Chains A and B, each alone.
Chain A
Amino acid sequence: MSENVLHIDHLTMRFGGVVAVNDLSMDINRGEIVALIGPNGAGKTTAFNMVTGVYTPTSGKITLMGQDITGRRPDEITKLGIARTFQNIRLFSSMTVFENVLTARHLRRTSNFLSATFRLNAAEEKRMRQETEALLKEVGLYELRDEMATSLPYGKQRLLEIARALSTQPKVLLLDEPAAGMNPQETEELGAFIKLIKDKFDLTVFLIEHHMNLVMDISDRIYVIDFGKQIAQGTPSEVQNDPAVIAAYLGVDEEEEVSPA
């Protein structure tokens, strides 16, 4: 039996009259790549936002490695080992590539503001910088380290968001449409990249994605939701042939989909 890492139990999120996520339950095991798919507005990002503490669920429970994290603050949840990227890229725009990744090390500091200001943490700062360099090399952004983050091409920005998330030293990595805006070649590279970092950093990956080739290629299991409710789950081949899934996607051309905010 594989070890359960993230357990989502009857999660519901209501915004006024809108039920964005409706009684969603999921289980993600250590080392898996699990995808959450569904048409636009199905509630995928909302599910991520509940897991990462941006929203407190209306009802339901989220457990990370046995610990109840429902309604905890986002920074606490990140400290506990869940890192994420954003569907609409949210890099630190005043910072370089290097600084973006370095800043995500802040949460693992042992210094306080006085020791940091007066450079009593020089050893730690040096280590953080070295680790950041190493990480940038691993993800192939080292050459771009001095560029302003927002000056990078779109695909590289998505990569940088992943690198920044990795810098928090997560156990579970949440990727919200990491291939959005990427061309087919970049998308393919991204798939290999996700598998690579999963092994290298001993991660469990939970991803939202619209590019079906990518999803089918890298996912161990897939959950499908529509109107906030789960309509199917299983291995890629099971899901692909599920009539409910086909019905939900019918008439929805994946390339035409516009990303909601």
Chain B
Amino acid sequence: MTEIKRKKLDSATVISIVIVLALYVAVFVAEQFIPATSMLFTVIKKGATYALVAVSMNLLNGFTGIFSLGQAGFMLIGAYVYGIFTIPVISRMDVYQYYNGGLVQFTLPVFVAMLLSGLAAAFLALLIGLPVLRLKSDYLAIATLGFAEIIRALFQWDKLGPITNGSNMLRLFPNFNDFNIRNADGQVVVYLSTLVPLLIAGVCIFVIILLINSTYGRALRAIKDDEIAAEAMGIRLASHKRLAFCISSFFAGVGGAMLAMYQTTVQAKSFTTAMTYEILLIVVIGGIGSVTGSCLSSFLFVACSEWWLRFLDQKQVIGDFEVPLLRNGFRLVVFSIIIMIVVLFFRQGIMGRKELPDLIRQLQGKKVKGGASK
């Protein structure tokens, strides 16, 4: 985070980079040996997707101080743009069965489509940013929430069916499994279906980290700390807020494309306010203003909700004893309680405002600047 006289990267930063790279290698190796159906990979894929969206939300809420709740809306746009432009032409008749194969009759490469997902979301952010960013905190949150709902309704609108497929789902577009390298017989030679999403999220988050640590990132933090002082130091509030809003939305859009690939289908009705709240919780649990925190808590959150706490939803019988309470839906109760405890008693979240290099510096016994204080 804060680096002064950054002639070279300090050792803590280098160690952090090595740790992250080692994790990537570990995932790659694990993917080759552990069956692809393992829950571990599901968690990593969805975790990576959520991590990107959470960090993009943190850029706004944690670093710029703009309390926006439009994340699901921008993800929806990203997911749809990805789906619409990557469904193979031969499959379009199947997918758009009620709309005569749909309007779009070409296919873009996966990464071009993902980029387009981000750009579409950013463009929409630019449009709604003009009126919305003038609003103050609560009103801004409500307006962005409303925007996301409108988008959700719009994409299900029958009249847009030739493009969006109306209330029917988009499917048959390339998903994470298509990143696996197969031989002529269709057998997988190298598994990449987990590594690639993790790489995409990693690159995007790295770019966000670069932004945060640039002169623009400092300007955004200044706005969060004190708008009046920031403006008095010559930082134009409107343009910087709009910039943060567009960049955040860009990455939410890319995250939406990743979610589409993860789910293998896209349907507007699933991009609910609840999804935005999930992302918000991840940000809060990780620590508002910590990229590391958002990443860690994404994986924890997804692991808990998809894997570790699943048993709570099933009847458990130990010997003759049927454990009480355990039944469908109980997982969500426990989950909510955990979240309440975090929000009530650990408001700093896991990381406060610290990042991975700060933790290492602490271990090295160095003084940490800008750590979790207050």
Contacts and interface: CB of A to CB of B under 8 A. Distances in A.
Interface string B134-153: 00000000000000000000
B214 interface: yes
Interface residues of A, number: 46
Interface stretch (B105-113, B230-238, B310-318): B230-238
Interface of B: 2, 4-5, 207, 210-211, 214-216, 218-219, 221-222, 224-226, 228-237, 243, 247, 289, 353, 367, 369-370, 373
21 contacts: A52-B232, A54-B232, A74-B231, A78-B231, A84-B232, A86-B229, A90-B226, A91-B225, A91-B229, A94-B221, A94-B289, A99-B218, A103-B235, A106-B222, A113-B216, A116-B211, A117-B210, A117-B211, A118-B210, A119-B210, A164-B233
A131 interface: no
A102 B221 contact: no
A178 B247 CA distance: 38
A111 interface: yes
B64 to A, nearest CB: 12
A20 to B, nearest CB: 17
Given A74-B231, A117-B210, A119-B210, A93 B215 contact: no
Interface string A91-118: 1111110110011111111010100111
Contacts of A107: 233-235
A187 interface: no
A82 to B, nearest CB: 9
A202 interface: no
A164 B225 CA distance: 15
Interface stretch (A24-32, A121-129, A226-234): A121-129
Given A106-B233, A168-B233, A129 B214 contact: no
Contact of A148 (B214, B226, B230, B373): B373
Given A103-B218, A106-B215, A54 B228 contact: yes
Contact of B226 (A75, A76, A92): A92
Contacts of A14: none
A145 B4 CA distance: 9
A95 B225 contact: yes
A165 B2 CA distance: 21
Which residue of A74, A86, A145, A168 has the most chain B CB atoms within 10 A of its CB atom? A74
Interface in A146-168: 146, 148, 164-165, 167-168
Contact of A103 (B5, B219, B289): B219
A73 interface: yes
Given A91-B229, A113-B214, A168-B233, 20 more contacts: A54-B232, A74-B231, A75-B232, A78-B233, A78-B234, A83-B233, A90-B229, A92-B221, A92-B225, A92-B229, A93-B225, A95-B218, A106-B215, A117-B211, A117-B214, A121-B214, A128-B215, A129-B5, A145-B4, A146-B369
Contacts of B236: 73, 75-76
A104 B370 contact: no
Contact of A96 (B214, B219, B370): B370
